[in-house]
A and B are shown apart, each in its own frame.
Chain A
């Protein structure tokens, strides 16, 4: 119990003094996870919506695979991305291993199926509602996908936030592809793993509280900007 108390004190100490290392690490965490989120959303949301609108031969297989991939183990993704980006691997010439870009790639792979799957579930219900209207208006496929995405934007926000949550709290993959290099690829989760390894539980826990606060702040900010849960709306 004592360790938890010390952790809270350590977290407050880090925040009050605006520890430059902490700010650096936190900003890198945000940079990596938000970049991964933007890229993953750009792929997953149109794809998930398309799956709801379009009927094709292997649709059910694709959806099942997508749902299964939601549980993709990050450490396996990390290992595969590592082997691909390693100097001895197929993409070694790019020199991306142990850079933030490699971490973004790994996180995109992890969260894209999650966002696509949630998007698909939500869009399927919305499509049932809009189906007759959009067909009778003689809209094109692109217009249908666009309309669904716009009208379902609040649910898509949930999908995106779920993806962000998985990305910012993830440690297995980015530890392998980023290497936890000080000042280059160290983020909050890998710093926590490092401090735990040193037996410095107070600092590790302190960083953990900072991570949770960061996730809360991002969620509040996105909700505030998009105007959900405001009075008179839902």
Chain B
């Protein structure tokens, strides 16, 4: 009986081991929600014969997955956290791939007059001064960290905000749904906003400040720490992501005529 059970389990495991070339990459919700993944993955499959399995999580969780060795590479956007990840030896190196930008979304009536603000700092201060409803991701994601950085640059501390500051602890799409329901301001990445299907009365109010620059970087998980990670596949993927094929696809990806990402990987 026991022998049969072991044989059964062995069969189950073997079926997983038999999968050809595949690797797991943790990416941020903003990357997946932008729709760019649907463009890149089939091309990667064709060019490299590599199945990239995406785990769509916040940057915080993506880094945790990398630390535990549960993924082979991560593609995230939070520079300080990424550099700490590499310095602690969890990743081999950090390679910049592309950037997009954050935008301020809010109700069309715009009670805080964000659309008229000269800088993002002025816009954030205006929202805090009017005490207009604001939805925060609150999930330790790259977008959340960027939002916290914007508050601190404006000399404000979200911990001291009142009930108008609502931390929802959810992904980009879910947070946008919440903002749409409450007609609140929110910081989102442009790609997720353009792809969002339930805008309600919300509109893009402010963008273009250099402080809203959002750099995506690719980090292969260190095989010295986790011997099982598919570093060969991760390196092949990096070569592809920084190559001309990826440049054409990333720069060419547009929604409603708006380009979403700018490729900025430099050859080694």
> Interface on A for B, CB 8 Å cutoff?
86-89, 92, 94-99, 101, 179-182, 184, 194, 196-201
Residues from chain B with a CB closer than 8 A to the CB of A94 are 13
Apart from A92-B69, A196-B177, A197-B33: 8 A-B pairs, beta carbons within 8 A: A88-B68, A98-B24, A181-B53, A182-B54, A197-B177, A198-B33, A198-B173, A199-B176
The answer to whether B174 touches A197 (Cβ under 8 A) is: yes
A/B interface sample: 29 pairs, CB < 8 A:
A86-B68, A87-B68, A87-B69, A88-B69, A89-B68, A92-B69, A94-B13, A95-B13, A95-B228, A96-B13, A96-B16, A98-B24, A98-B53, A98-B70, A101-B12, A101-B13, A180-B56, A181-B24, A181-B54, A184-B53, A197-B29, A197-B170, A197-B174, A198-B195, A198-B196, A199-B180, A199-B196, A200-B197, A200-B198
Tell me the nearest residue of chain A to B38, going by C-beta.
A182
> Interface on B for A, CB 8 Å cutoff?
12-13, 16-17, 24, 29, 33, 53-56, 67-70, 170-174, 176-177, 180, 195-199, 226, 228
Question: Interface of chain A, helix or strand or loop or mixed?
Answer: loop
Interchain pairs with CB closer than 8 A, number: 69
The answer to whether A199 touches B197 (Cβ under 8 A) is: yes
Tell me the nearest residue of chain B to A182, going by C-beta.
B54
**When chains A and B are docked, how far (Å) is the Cα of A94 from the Cα of B197?**
40
Most B CB within 10 A of own CB, among A89, A97, A179:
A179
Selected contact of B70 from candidates A87, A182, A201, CB within 8 Å: A87
Residues from chain B with a CB closer than 8 A to the CB of A197 are 29, 33, 170-174, 177
The answer to whether A196 touches B173 (Cβ under 8 A) is: yes
Most B CB within 10 A of own CB, among A89, A92, A180, A199:
A199
Closest chain B CB from A48 CB (angstroms): 21
Most B CB within 10 A of own CB, among A181, A196, A198:
A198
**When chains A and B are docked, how far (Å) is the Cα of A181 from the Cα of B17?**
17
Tell me the nearest residue of chain A to B180, going by C-beta.
A199
Tell me the nearest residue of chain B to A97, going by C-beta.
B70
The answer to whether B54 touches A201 (Cβ under 8 A) is: no
Tell me the nearest residue of chain B to A181, going by C-beta.
B53
The answer to whether B176 touches A86 (Cβ under 8 A) is: no
**When chains A and B are docked, how far (Å) is the Cα of A86 from the Cα of B174?**
26
The answer to whether B174 touches A201 (Cβ under 8 A) is: no
Residues from chain B with a CB closer than 8 A to the CB of A201 are 197-198
Closest chain A CB from B7 CB (angstroms): 15
Residues from chain B with a CB closer than 8 A to the CB of A97 are 70
Residues from chain B with a CB closer than 8 A to the CB of A181 are 24, 53-55
The answer to whether B174 touches A196 (Cβ under 8 A) is: yes
**When chains A and B are docked, how far (Å) is the Cα of A194 from the Cα of B17?**
28
**When chains A and B are docked, how far (Å) is the Cα of A107 from the Cα of B29?**
25
Closest chain A CB from B31 CB (angstroms): 13
| A199-B196, A199-B197, A199-B198 known; A99 vs B176 contact (CB < 8 Å) | no
Most B CB within 10 A of own CB, among A89, A197, A200:
A197
